[in-house]
Amino acid sequence: MEKDGKRSPNPALWWINGRGGEVRWSFEEMGVHSRKVANILTDQCGLRKGDRILVILSRIPEWWLVIMACIRTGIVAIPATLQLTAKDIEYRLQASGAKCLVTTEALGSAVDSVAPWCPSLKTKLLVSSEGKQEGWLNFDELLREAPANHACAKTKMNDPMLVYFTSGTTGAPKMVEHTQGSLGFRPLITDNDFLCFIRSWLYTTSSDLIWSTADTSWVVAALGSFFDPWALGSCVFIHNLPLLEKTTILRTLSQFPITAFLSPPAFFRMLLKEDFTSYKFKSLQYCISGGESISLEVIEEWKNKTGLDIYELYGQTETGSICSVSKEMKIKPGTMGKALFPYDVQIVDQEANILPPGKEGEIAVRIKPERPLGFFTQYIDAPQKTAATTRGDFFLTGDRGVMDEDGYFRFIGRADDIINSSGYRIGPFEVENVLLTHPAVAEVAAISSPDPIRGEVVKAFVVLSTDYATHNKEKLTMELQEHVKKTTAPYKYPRKVEFVQKLPKSQTGKIQRKELRDQEWA
C-alpha cells in the first residue's frame, strides 16, 4: 500500500451509485467496518466457523464488508445474484443448509415466501435504511451499534471459505467449494524455504484504480474486485450499475481516474456500438476481458477507438484464473494467453494424453500428484460429479482449445457445443464472433441443428439491434449468411437463422446454448 515511501492517496474501496451517492473507505476503515460486521454475524446472527451464509447483494459496499467478515470469522459465504427467483433461493437454501441469509428489500418478500420450507435458515439480515421489517434483523442499525474489536478465527488453508453455485447448464446447479487458500496469493517456496507470494494475472500497483463490472455472484468479482487488487494495495472502484447502460460505463471511465478495467466481452461489444468522440479515457491504461472468448474484431475496434489493447483472461468457477495475457507478453489476437503460475495447462485427448501444438483437444490442468492451490476442492454432496472432472492426471475443464508452439491457448468452445457438420468441426464462437460484426446483430447464439444430409448444420439464433428490427427477415437472413461466408471459411456459415427477442442465459450472464440445442433436437 506504499510506493517510494509514501502511502497511496487512493482509498481501498471507492463506490458510487450514479445518483450522487459515494463511499470512500481506506484500508483502515475497511478493517473497522468488517470487524463490526464480523461481530454482527457471530453475536447477533449466532453463526460460527464453518456455518454457511447466503449473500444476495448487488454491487454495494455491504457486499465487501460481509465477505471480509466471513473470512475473519471462518463463516462460509455463498455469493448469489439479485436475479434469483423465489424458487432459486429455496433451492440454494435447501441444498447448502445455510443458516443465515443477507439481502436487500428487493428480495425480502421472495425470501419470506420460501423460508418455511428451509428449516436450516435461522436468521435473516436485511440491508436497508428504511427501518425494521418483521422477522428480519436490520443490518444498518446493527452496524452502527456493533463493537469494532474482533479477534479473527483461526483457519487453515484447506478450510472452506466460499461456495459458488454453478450456472447449471447441465442439470441442477452444483456447489463449488473454495478454501481459505484458493483465491488469494499463489505460494512460492524460495531457496531459503521462506513462503512468499507472487501475483499471477493482475499487474496493478497501489497507484491504480481497478474497476470490474462483474456481478458479485461471479468468481471473477472475488478475483478482480477483492483478493487480487487489495493484495497489491490497489483501489477497488465500483459503480452500482443497476442498469447496464453503455453511456453510464463510458461516462464513468471518462470522469473517474480508473486505470484498469475488467469486463466480459459482451460489455466491450456493447460499448463499441456507442460514439466515442465525446469520451476521453485520460487515466485508463489496462483493459482486461474474461468470462468467454472475445473476437479479433472487437479487440481491433477497441484499439482503434481508444488506443488500448484488451488483455484476455481465462478461467472457470472451479479453477479461478488459469490463463492470461500479461502486460509483458506479446499479444496474439484470438488467443487467451499462456498458463498462469502454478498451473500446468495442456491440451489432451479422450485418454488424457497430451496433444502436440496445433492439435485440437480438451483444455485440462494437471492435478496429480498434487492438486494446485487455487482449485475448488469438490462439488459439495456430489462425489460422482467431482470424480467425473478427472481423467488420468488432469482436471478437465469441458472446454476445447488449441495450444500453439509458443504456449498460447486459443479457445474453441464447450466440448458439447462443438458442431460437426459433414465432418467439419465448427466452434460456435467462430460463427458468433463473425455475426456480431454485422450491425444488425445485437446478440447471437450458434448451435447444431439436425440435418438429413449433413447430420448437423449451424443454426444461429439472432437478437436484432433496434435499427434492424423491422427489416425483411428473409433478405436479412441471406445478408447474414453471405457476411459469414465472406468473413470466414464458407462451411461455417449458418444454414439456418432464427430471429428471437432474447436468448436464454445463466444467472452469470452466459448464453445457455444447451437449452437452445435441446429444443432444436427435441
d(CA 159, CA 173): 22
Question: What does 112-126 look like in DSSP terms, one character per residue?
Answer: HHHGGG-TT--EEEE
In this prediction, residue 167 carries a pLDDT of 62
What distance in Å separates the CA atoms of residue 470 and residue 440, rounded to the nearest whole number?
11
Report the C-alpha gap between 203 and 231 in whole angstroms: 11
Mean per-residue pLDDT of the chain? 89
Full DSSP string of 399-438: EEEEE-TTS-EEEEEEGGG-EEETTEEE-HHHHHHHHTTS
The pLDDT of residue 194 is above 60 = no
| C-alpha dihedral sign at 221, 222, 223, 227 | positive
User: For residues 228 and 275, what is the distance between their CA atoms, to the nearest angstrom?
Assistant: 33
The whole-angstrom separation of Cα 322 and Cα 394 is 14
Torsion of CA 26, 125, 212, 238, to 10 degrees: -50
Q: Which of 34, 14, 12, 33 is nearest to 22 (CA)?
A: 14
> Which residues are 345's β-sheet partners?
365
| pLDDT category of residue 338 using cuts at 50, 70 and 90 | very high
Helices (H), ranges, 54-121: 61-73, 86-96, 108-114
Tell the residue number behind the cell numbers 488467443, with chain if given.
Answer: 335
Listing DSSP states for 347-403 in one string gives EE-TT-PBPPTT--EEEEEE-SSSPPTTS--EETT-HHHHHHTEETTEEEEEEEEEE
Q: Across 468-515, where does the E strand assignment appear?
A: 496-499
Predicted confidence at residue 357, as pLDDT, reads 97
CA distance 92 to 94: 5
Q: Whose grid coordinates read 430471429?
A: 499
| Range of lowest pLDDT (12-21, 76-85, 106-115, 179-188) | 179-188
| Per-residue model confidence (pLDDT) at position 45 | 97
82, three cell numbers: 439479485
CB 343 within 8 A of CB 322: yes
Query: What integer pLDDT is reported at residue 195 of this predicted model?
Result: 41
Could you tell me the pLDDT band of residue 143, with boundaries at 50, 70 and 90? Answer: very high
Q: Residue 152: name the closest of 73, 50, 39 by CA.
A: 73
Residue 265: enclosing H or E segment and its boundaries? helix 265-272
Taking 90 as the threshold, does the pLDDT of residue 293 lie above it? Answer: no
Residue 509 has phi, psi (to 5 degrees) of 90, 5
Burial 47-68 (b: 16+ CB within 10 A, else e): beeebbbbbbbbbbbbbbbbbb
Joined grid coordinates for residue 488: 470466414
* Residue that the C-alpha cell 483465491 belongs to: 183
Rounded Cα distance, 61 and 33, in Å: 10
How does residue 508 score in pLDDT terms, banded at 50, 70 and 90? low
Q: Whole-prediction pTM value?
A: 0.84
pLDDT band at 507 (very low <50, low <70, confident <90, very high): low
Q: Which residue has the higher pLDDT, 157 or 30?
A: 30
Of 11, 77, 82, 12, whose CA–CA distance to 38 is shortest? 77
Do β-strands 361-366 and 345-348 pair in parallel, antiparallel, or remain unpaired?
antiparallel
**Cell 460514439 identifies what position?**
275
Give Cα 162 to chain centroid, integer Å: 14
What phi-psi label fits residue 149: left (phi over 0), alpha (psi between -120 and 50 degrees) or beta?
beta
Predicted confidence (pLDDT) at residue 15 exceeds the cutoff of 90: yes
**Long-range contacts (CB closer than 8 Å, 24 or more residues apart) made by 25-33:** 25/61, 27/1, 27/230, 30/64, 30/65, 30/68, 32/148, 33/65, 33/143
Q: Which tens digits make up the pLDDT trace of 341-357?
A: 889 999 999 999 999 99
pLDDT digits (tens, 9 = 90+) for 70-113: 999 999 999 998 888 898 899 999 999 999 999 999 999 999 99
Nearest residue to 170 via CA among 520, 513, 521: 513
Comparison of pLDDT for 507 and 516, the residue scoring more: 516
Q: Quickly state the pLDDT bin for 55 (edges 50, 70, 90).
A: very high
Q: What is the pLDDT, as a whole number, of residue 171?
A: 58
pLDDT at 46 over 90: yes
Report the distance separating Cα 7 and Cα 324, nearest Å: 30
